[in-house]
Structure 1
Amino acid sequence: MTRNAELVPPSPRAMRLGLVMSFLLMLFALGVFILSLEAVRTPNDDGYRVDVTASGCEPNRLEVPAGQRTFTVVNRSDRAIEWEIVDGVMVLAERENIAPGLRQPLTATLKAGDYAMTCGLLSNPHGTLHVVAGESDAETPALSTTAFVGPLAEYRVYTTLQLRKLHRSAAELRDAIAAGDLEAAQQAYRDARRVDLHLAMPIGLFSDLDQRLNAHAADFEQRENDPAFVGFQRLAGGLFEQQSTAGLNGAAEQLVADVDTLTARLKSASIPPAQLADGSARILETWLDHHRDDDAIGQHDLADLVALTEGADKIVSLLSPLLESQSPATLHTLEANLAALQRDLQADADSSASRSAADDADLLQATRALARSLTGINPALTLEG
């Protein structure tokens, strides 16, 4: 039988070479890691990175080419934050409820110009987003603007009627709170909130009004005690969590005033055609931002989603004739996803049993599918934001 060869210890030179190679490999791995972090700060396939700290955005000024751009928003503060791209008071894109330490992508189609970036807390200073025209960008011929005259006119009638309902319900809510009638105030709140969410798309175009009407306590420095925290979330906390009308008179008065302001703005402003679909997708994504996969969906949140879906249904009905001629496949997918979400919501309404985690997961999945379908409308209609 042949004897096994004896093991020969490595020479000092080989050991030194091995150590050097290991060190070089460590340096290479560290360099790759650092470059992967820095890469999101500059243009690449993943887009542009914005870090939101407790005091604002880093960088506070960002320059990007016009067109569809993806931003990675990183929360480096100790509380959930939101990030918006705002043109004057009009919100073009937003991402809400980004948890501390996490990052969320946001994709927006931007024309050349200067925009503001909200940076976490509503009291933080805004950043600046400078969008530069790209000479080499090929432009796709857009559908004629006259094609949207009919849908926009019909939507103006719809918003006018909804605003009347909202003003009436908000006034009833204010009066019930002033009278200390909790039951009447709760019902008036439900009526007003439903209409508010039917109008979530046009309300969401106005950053200041949207913040007063729909911001959450976590968006403010002093949370529930912040004097700037008014609107539906403030009222819901008092009426349903505390079961009291005490201390809500100011918020109810402000609500009526904000509805009046909204009415005046929508009367004189025209809604950009591209915002019909993109704005509707954004408000569904905002609802999703506040509902993690492992969080139970409460009854108030469920009622909000029902109202948001009703508002999205109106948009789909307005744009369906255009999609039928331009992109039947897009319309088919959109209508299928809308119907699926409506079925899930109806099943929840018809069921007397408590909701399960599987029910919540199905609802979140159906909502995401509808939001994605809505974002496909503008490309199908060659609409630019």
Structure 2
Amino acid sequence: MSDNASPSVPSAGLLRLGIVLSALVMLVALGLFYLSLEQPATGEQGTRVTITATGCEPKALSVPAGKQRFVVINQSERAIEWEILDGVMVLEERENIAPQLQQAITATLAPGEYQMTCGLLSNPRGTLTVTPVQGADVAPAVSAKAFIGPLAEYRVYLTLQGRQLQAAVDDLQSAIAANDLPAAQESWREARLIDERIALAVGLFSDLDQRLNGRADYFAQREQDPDFAGFHRLAVGLFAQQSTAELLPVAQQLNADVRQLRARLNDDGVPAAQLTRGAARVLQAWHDYQQSQQRVSELELADLRGLQQGADKVVSLLAPLLQNQVQSVGALQQANLALADALQQASPDRAALLQRSQGLAQALAQVNEQLAPGY
């Protein structure tokens, strides 16, 4: 054979075999990638609780007091939320945990008996027992006395916002009763904006928050479920269906729930620990929900504006109090301004909104941890 002869060419059979093997390698790689997304990581540290279609497994948990990490695994076929409740008060939550995925949640808990929501709001609740730990108490970075002024001012803020919310809901009910769709839509937008401004306070009461702000996905029959009510049920009629038909009972229930909310806030107020924790929680919930969506709708964008305005109030109250005690207060103010700037754009960028909403949520959560390890 000549030294200049061309290299041998693989046969057609070998080429086909190579293509098949390459395809198999790619399929295996894709399968491993899919499993890494869908399957809970077995090495994840924390107390594990699995949510099924019918409830929590285990149904009862026990952990020591202090800072605890929970790994919530969703093995149902629906996106779910998980909450730690003290009576009707929400202490910690994570929303929109997708099917077959998991979320880690950190909570600092005092000794006591608590409840856990377990997927669909119709599912039976689980129990969480938090046992005492000797010598676990740590002095807060900011004294309780220092919170008196900010809490009093925030209580006035809630009172004023509550009055505005009641007036907007009254107008909404009247417009629906009169079958005035444009007026009803305008009143809904006004009422919803106020509801989101005080979302951290509304979110403290699980029963009212469920009726006022529960999304259809959290109910067994979704939009057709008889317990699906509140702002999201009204939005389906007013904006998706462009109709006020059959909405008057929903508006009347909303009105009654707002009156009850105002009474509870007047009696109980908001605990100091919940100012930053609650503001962080509702921002994180918005972020988590939007991650599962293709775009940010006009109504969801308005929701974020209300949440940022509510967070801005909290930041303005606590920044002077924290200036000398917490180094991250500057980061908190910067995160708040960054989200406000993103919302002021004529066409806000979805990626920027997701990044900055979570950035502000994380900054608020960090400040909350520094206020007092026991919060």
**TM-score normalised to the size of structure 1?**
0.85
Q: Which letter maps to 1:206?
A: F
Q: Which letter maps to 2:189?
A: R
1:332 maps onto 2:322 in alignment: no
Distance 1:227 1:164, change over 3 A: same
The whole-number CA distance in structure 2 between the counterparts of 1:39 and 1:191 is 46
Distance 1:360 1:282, change over 3 A: same
The whole-number CA distance in structure 1 between the counterparts of 2:112 and 2:129 is 6
1:292 maps onto 2:294 in alignment: no
1:215 maps onto 2:214 in alignment: yes
The alignment partner of 1:137 has SS state of: coil
**Alignment-derived partner of residue 34 in structure 2:** none
Does the aligned pair in 1 maintain the 2:137–2:374 contact within 8 Å? no
Q: Which letter maps to 2:343?
A: L
Distance 1:37 1:189, change over 3 A: closer
Q: Which letter maps to 2:216?
A: A
Among 348, 358, 377, the alignment partner of 2:367 is 377
**Alignment-derived partner of residue 193 in structure 1:** 192
- Shift in Å, 1:142: 4.8
The alignment partner of 1:384 has SS state of: coil
Alpha-carbon displacement from aligned partner over 1:80-124 (angstroms, at most 9, x marks no partner): 111100000000011111111010111111000010000001110
Q: Which letter maps to 2:247?
A: L
Q: Which letter maps to 1:365?
A: Q
The whole-number CA distance in structure 1 between the counterparts of 2:193 and 2:270 is 21
Range that drifts further, 361-370 or 206-215: 361-370
- Shift in Å, 1:38: 6.3
Q: Which letter maps to 1:126?
A: R
The whole-number CA distance in structure 2 between the counterparts of 1:77 and 1:209 is 25
Q: Which letter maps to 1:129?
A: L
1:364 maps onto 2:363 in alignment: no
- Shift in Å, 1:295: 2.3
Distance 1:210 1:293, change over 3 A: closer
**Alignment-derived partner of residue 322 in structure 1:** 321
The whole-number CA distance in structure 1 between the counterparts of 2:137 and 2:196 is 37
The whole-number CA distance in structure 2 between the counterparts of 1:169 and 1:103 is 38
**Alignment-derived partner of residue 18 in structure 2:** none
The alignment partner of 1:91 has SS state of: strand
Q: Which letter maps to 1:285?
A: Q
Does the aligned pair in 2 maintain the 1:204–1:210 contact within 8 Å? yes
Distance 1:246 1:141, change over 3 A: closer
1:273 maps onto 2:272 in alignment: yes
Structure 2 unaligned blocks of 5 or more: 1-39
The whole-number CA distance in structure 2 between the counterparts of 1:367 and 1:315 is 15
**Alignment-derived partner of residue 10 in structure 2:** none
Q: Percent identity?
A: 53
Distance 1:37 1:366, change over 3 A: closer
Structure 1 unaligned blocks of 5 or more: 1-35, 41-45
**Alignment-derived partner of residue 108 in structure 2:** 109
1:86 maps onto 2:85 in alignment: yes
Does the aligned pair in 2 maintain the 1:162–1:195 contact within 8 Å? yes
Q: Which letter maps to 1:363?
A: L
Does the aligned pair in 1 maintain the 2:140–2:373 contact within 8 Å? no
The whole-number CA distance in structure 1 between the counterparts of 2:71 and 2:371 is 27
The alignment partner of 1:290 has SS state of: helix
The whole-number CA distance in structure 2 between the counterparts of 1:127 and 1:192 is 34
Does the aligned pair in 2 maintain the 1:330–1:380 contact within 8 Å? no
Q: Which letter maps to 2:67?
A: Q
Does the aligned pair in 1 maintain the 2:216–2:223 contact within 8 Å? yes
The whole-number CA distance in structure 2 between the counterparts of 1:294 and 1:214 is 18
Q: Which letter maps to 2:195?
A: D
Q: Which has the higher contact order (CA 8 A, sep 6+)?
A: 2
Does the aligned pair in 2 maintain the 1:322–1:381 contact within 8 Å? no
1:345 maps onto 2:335 in alignment: no
The alignment partner of 1:100 has SS state of: coil
The whole-number CA distance in structure 2 between the counterparts of 1:156 and 1:169 is 20
Alpha-carbon displacement from aligned partner over 1:293-333 (angstroms, at most 9, x marks no partner): 76211111111001100000000001011111212x31110
The whole-number CA distance in structure 2 between the counterparts of 1:303 and 1:86 is 28
Does the aligned pair in 2 maintain the 1:143–1:383 contact within 8 Å? no
- Shift in Å, 1:147: 0.6
The whole-number CA distance in structure 2 between the counterparts of 1:171 and 1:96 is 30
Does the aligned pair in 2 maintain the 1:79–1:100 contact within 8 Å? yes
The whole-number CA distance in structure 2 between the counterparts of 1:373 and 1:339 is 12
The whole-number CA distance in structure 2 between the counterparts of 1:333 and 1:240 is 38
The whole-number CA distance in structure 1 between the counterparts of 2:80 and 2:115 is 16
The alignment partner of 1:164 has SS state of: helix
Q: Which letter maps to 2:72?
A: V
The alignment partner of 2:323 has SS state of: helix
- Shift in Å, 1:39: 5.9
The whole-number CA distance in structure 2 between the counterparts of 1:207 and 1:295 is 28
**Alignment-derived partner of residue 143 in structure 1:** 142
Distance 1:372 1:69, change over 3 A: same
The alignment partner of 1:134 has SS state of: coil
1:178 maps onto 2:177 in alignment: yes
The alignment partner of 1:106 has SS state of: strand
Alpha-carbon displacement from aligned partner over 1:226-281 (angstroms, at most 9, x marks no partner): 11110000000100000000011111000000001001111111321010000000
Q: Which letter maps to 1:309?
A: Q
Q: Which letter maps to 2:114?
A: Y
Distance 1:142 1:330, change over 3 A: closer
The alignment partner of 2:276 has SS state of: helix
Does the aligned pair in 2 maintain the 1:53–1:76 contact within 8 Å? yes
- Shift in Å, 1:47: 1.1
